[in-house]
Amino acid sequence: MLAVISNYEVLGDLTRKFNIPFHYLPHADRSREAHEAEVLAVLAQYQPDFVLLAKYMRTLTSNFMPHYSNRLINIHHSFLPAFVGASPYAQAYARGMKIIGATAHFVNEQFDQSPIIAQNVIPIDHTQSAHEMAQAGRDVEKIVLARSLRMVFDEQVFVHGNKTVIFD
């Protein structure tokens, strides 16, 4: 069963239009551990095979990780390992990059350094602002995320250490 858990209400109306359960769990005024305990309690109701972290701009604690080992999937808005963390398009702009990309990866305790499922890039140039790069990057993020989820759901991805083996 699908569900959306978010620390922001912005997707609530959209998910309800598609009859997808939406759980708003704000993180303000809560410790990271307390917020994660709430998330884990909601996840337990669904017993998911995988948890997708999309637009989840918080680092998970080591207490959360063991519950979903090799089952947490993140879409990162850069071609990892370049530009880890927040604001990768601003970083790419500042460095004069000629390509930007996206990376779907399993999440582990190594921040943005975990087993990569899929990646892709698109060309950019000096005429584009960081904002324009981010807009262009959204398309490649969607493609990489869709491709990675298809491979994971079709059991074409095997995690070996900090790498993945992909069976096409």
Place of tokens 């620390």: 7
Q: Which residue has the tokens 């009859």?
A: 19
Q: Which two tokens stand for residue 165?
A: 């083996």
d(CA 70, CA 13): 30
Angle between helices 88-95 and 130-153 (to 10 degrees): 130
Among the options 13, 49, 112, 154, which is catalytic? 112
Residue 49 known to be catalytic = no
Active site residues: 112
